[in-house]
């Protein structure tokens, strides 16, 4: 039997993808449960909705992360701090980070990761992923003044001995010195904060928090129309075309049948 991503699921694909869309548009899992009670005779619990978000975010990302990208010459990298409740029923907050890299031309979020800390290894792993996905298209990488970025950018993009220079220009913007802000990625962070400000510590592991934020990357790149460019970032950055109005459903189907 061909698995379309919903094999042995007890709820209809339209119902599941409705929940995904509502969740990433800012509705809590409990509010979605109340919505289902009003319109569906067989309700789903808020815990089921949470599990759907984690499951299908991971499933779709395995497909979207393999798409070839057509990007501009500049990428921007930055990080956001988050407090995650280390244990659901106990006090105490674990300070984590969401690190992301975006293309300035298409506004496409090239790579992102929710991690425990923003050390050299974590940022290098993400920068190298961005390098693999963009190839030799990127010429400038803009970051803040966090000193880790200098080594990461040099290590990830390499040195050209023929010209005696690094393969990419690393542009550092120090806001504390009045040098301004990296506006495109800061605008992206404002969009992310609008959704995540209602999260109460994620209440789970780093893996589940990472899956939720991966789904937010998918929502930003493939579902939500970007005001600055008048379309979804994937329409400029990839050759993928989604014909259905239910993009969540089509992405799940593509993820299970990529050909």
Segments forming the whole domain that contains residue 251: 13-66+240-256
Q: Do 140 and 18 lie in a common domain?
A: no
Q: Do 138 and 176 lie in a common domain?
A: yes
Q: Do 56 and 96 lie in a common domain?
A: no
Taking only the tens place, the pLDDT of each residue in 4-28 is: 788 878 888 999 999 999 999 999 9
Q: Is residue 129 part of a domain?
A: yes
Q: Do 36 and 88 lie in a common domain?
A: no
Taking only the tens place, the pLDDT of each residue in 142-193 is: 998 899 999 999 899 987 777 777 888 999 887 666 565 678 898 999 999 9
Distance between CA 128 and CA 117 in Å, rounded? 17
Distance between CA 166 and CA 138 in Å, rounded? 12
Q: Is residue 111 part of a domain?
A: yes
Q: Is residue 164 part of a domain?
A: yes
- Where does a domain end: 180, 204, 228? 204
> If you write DSSP's letter for every residue of 189-250 in order, what string do you get?
HHHHHHHHTT--STTS-HHHHHHHHHHHHHIIIIISPBTTTTB-HHHHH-S----SS-HHHH
Q: Do 197 and 141 lie in a common domain?
A: yes
pLDDT score, position 120: 93
Q: Do 154 and 102 lie in a common domain?
A: yes
pLDDT score, position 180: 59
Where b means 16+ CB within 10 Å and e means fewer, 74-98 reads bbbbbbbebebbbeeeeeeeeebbb
Q: Do 88 and 160 lie in a common domain?
A: yes
42 in helix, strand or coil? coil
Q: Do 82 and 191 lie in a common domain?
A: yes
> If you write DSSP's letter for every residue of 53-81 in order, what string do you get?
HHHHHHHHHHHHTTS-----SEEEEEEEE
- For the record, the structure tokens of 244 come out as 């259905």
Question: Average model confidence (pLDDT) for the chain?
Answer: 88
Q: Do 56 and 142 lie in a common domain?
A: no
Domain holding 183: CATH number? 3.30.420
Q: Do 93 and 178 lie in a common domain?
A: yes
Domain count, the chain: 2
């Amino acid at each position: 039997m061909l698995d379309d991503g919903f094999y042995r699921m007890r709820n209809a694909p339209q119902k599941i993808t409705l929940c995904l869309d509502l969740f990433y548009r800012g509705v809590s899992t409990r509010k979605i449960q109340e919505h289902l009670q009003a319109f569906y005779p067989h309700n789903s619990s808020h815990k089921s909705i949470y599990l759907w978000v984690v499951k299908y975010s991971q499933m779709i990302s395995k497909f979207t992360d393999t798409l070839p990208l057509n990007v501009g010459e500049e990428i921007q990298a930055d990080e956001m701090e988050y407090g995650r409740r280390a244990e659901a029923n106990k006090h105490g907050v674990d300070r984590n980070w969401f690190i992301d890299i975006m293309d300035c031309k298409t506004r496409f979020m090239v790579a992102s990761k929710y991690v425990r800390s923003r050390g050299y290894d974590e940022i290098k792993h993400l920068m190298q992923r961005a390098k693999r996905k963009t190839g030799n298209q990127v010429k400038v990488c803009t970051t803040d003044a966090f000193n880790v970025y200098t080594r990461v950018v040099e290590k990830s993009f390499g040195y050209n001995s023929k010209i005696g220079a690094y393969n990419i220009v690393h542009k550092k913007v120090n806001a504390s010195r009045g040098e301004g802000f990296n506006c495109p990625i800061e605008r992206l962070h404002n969009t992310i904060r609008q959704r995540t400000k209602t999260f109460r510590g994620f209440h789970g592991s780093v893996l589940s928090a990472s899956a939720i934020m991966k789904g937010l990357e998918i929502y930003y790149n493939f579902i939500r129309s970007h005001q600055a460019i008048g379309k979804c970032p994937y329409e400029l950055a990839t050759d993928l075309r989604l014909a259905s109005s239910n993009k969540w459903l089509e992405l799940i189907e593509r993820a299970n049948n990529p050909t």
